[in-house]
Amino acid sequence: MITVETARKLKEAGLVWQPSKGDQFMVPEGGMDEQVFVLSDMAVLIESLKGHPAVTFHGTPEWASDYVFVVDTLWLPSESQLRLQLQQRLAEAGAPVFDLLYADGAYTCRFENRGQGLAFRAEDAAEAYASALLHSLTSA
């Protein structure tokens, strides 16, 4: 998962979130700064019932907020979502070819844009894709 700082930079650069089931997000200004939420149809929890672990199903947890506006959330895109966003941005820019390499304990996302070879290195594949995507968003 990408860092909160990277997610903020992507949002500020104009990455738009179209929420869908399975997406992870935070509510940074809602007093739950460290809590990661996942969009789902139903809350499923692991609880202890009569001293035994159990999977429990809840339609609406009692502590849930009534609502939160998407604009007030911070999307934490997955590696595959970042890769797809990058692929779409590069295709729109006429540079649909990129790759991800792993060497020496780090990932590097590489692509060529306007005749310039670019490389974005990070310890995590999602962060490498996020850095490349951030560049594509801010250099347009």
Report phi then psi at 139, rounded to 5.
-100, 5
Segment 10-45, tens digit of pLDDT: 999 999 999 999 999 998 887 777 889 888 877 777
Residue 58's CB is within 10 A of a number of other CB atoms, namely 12
Segment 62-86, tens digit of pLDDT: 455 567 889 989 999 999 999 999 9
Q: Return the CATH architecture of domain 78-140.
A: 2-Layer Sandwich (3.30)
Taking the C-alpha atoms of residue 95 and residue 91, their distance in angstroms, rounded to an integer, is 5
pTM attached to this predicted model: 0.84
